[in-house]
Structure formats: C-alpha cells, structure tokens
Amino acid sequence: MVLIKKAIVIYNSKRGSTKQYAEWIAGELGCTSVSLENLDYSSLGQFDVVIFGSWLRGSGIVGFDKFRKQIAYCADKLIIFVTGISEYNPQNYQQICEINFKDGINMQNTLLYFCPGRYVPSEVKGLDKFLMAISKKVLISGATDRASSSAASTMVDAIENGVDNVDRRYTEQVLRAARKKLKDES
C-alpha cells in the first residue's frame, strides 16, 4: 500500500496578507488552505506537513498560542510562516523565537519563515491602532536598539503611510521546506 503524502495550510489573517500567502502556498502544493477559526484540529493527524501562517503583533505570532496547544503531537510536521511590516533581520527572528517558542512544546525542529506583509493605516482600528502609535513613538524617540536610524525611519514611514510588500516570491522558502518534508516522509 502506497501512502499519499498530504499537506495543509492553516492561516490566521486579519487584513489579507497572510491569507494571500496561504492561498499561494496551498495552490503550489495542490492542497487545502483553511482559516484557523475553521480548522478541525482532529483532522491534523492525516497530514504529513502542517503549515501555519499568521501575522505578527509586536513579535508575537497572533493565534499561535491556541494553535500550539492543540498540535503538540505533530510539532515535527510543522512549518510556520509569519507576515509583518518590520524589517527582517537576525535580531527580529531571534525575538520572534524567544517570544513564541519559550515553553511547552519542543519547537526545536520547527521551521519558521518571514514573509513581508502589508499595512494600510486607514484599515487599522482599536488595539492595533494604539499599538502602532506606541511603536511609532518609540521609533521616533530613538529608544530602540535598532542597528540604524534608516531602519527606524523606514518603519515610521510604513506606519504613517502604509506599505505593501506582499510578494509571491517569498512563498518559495516555505514551498522548498514543505517539499523537502514531503519527500523525506516518503
């Protein structure tokens, strides 16, 4: 009996960037994408690769805490991608890992990828609007340990004027990892 290898892409998207990446990835892999809110956790055992995508608030992966508790048994199948507007660099990557993988499940073999997102200031309300205003103040104050004032200036500009860095080419890293996991499982 030959086992068919399967993948699923689960996403948590607030304004569309993460959903767009999830749909591109699922389309390339020929699998299903499903929103986190519609996920049937009991079905995850049938998949050889579980790809989870969400957006970042600060460096926290939104919705990951709930998801992580439900998928402890399949952490070795997991690939994560995050979307955000901050500059990707090793310090940001480390901060994301420290905040999201600090306890509980052994996420040591979990792959994490960054896909640049979009930010439209006029669409932001409530807590997110407040947090972006605080971020802007911190960046302007120079109180961050940013490597350069250029990066801070770019981020302030993105917060004030918006930015759209969503690009299909960023799915390639996730696709390579998923194809490798699917191949390795054969």
- pLDDT digits (tens), the chain, 186 positions: 344 469 999 999 988 999 999 999 999 999 999 999 999 998 888 899 999 999 998 888 999 988 887 877 777 889 999 999 887 788 888 888 888 887 655 566 678 999 999 988 888 888 877 777 787 788 777 655 545 566 777 777 777 888 889 999 999 999 999 999 888 755
Q: Residue 2 has what pLDDT? A: 41
pLDDT for 104 equals 54
Start-to-end CA span in the chain (Å): 12
The token duo for 93 is 């990557």
User: 3-class SS at 4?
Assistant: coil
Question: Which one, of 107, 160, 169, 168, lies nearest residue 136 by Cα?
Answer: 160
CA–CA separation, 124 vs 119, rounded Å?
8
**Which amino acid, 123?**
E
Q: Which residue has the tokens 């959903």?
A: 19
Which pairing describes strands 32-35 and 49-57: parallel, antiparallel, or unpaired? unpaired
What is this structure's pTM? 0.85
Parse the chain into domains and list their residue ranges: 7-118+166-184, 121-161
Note the CATH architecture for domain 7-118+166-184: 3-Layer(aba) Sandwich (3.40)
**Residue 101: both structure tokens together:** 């993988």
Could you give the CA distance from residue 58 to residue 53 in angstroms, rounded to a whole number? Answer: 16
pLDDT of residue 3: 44
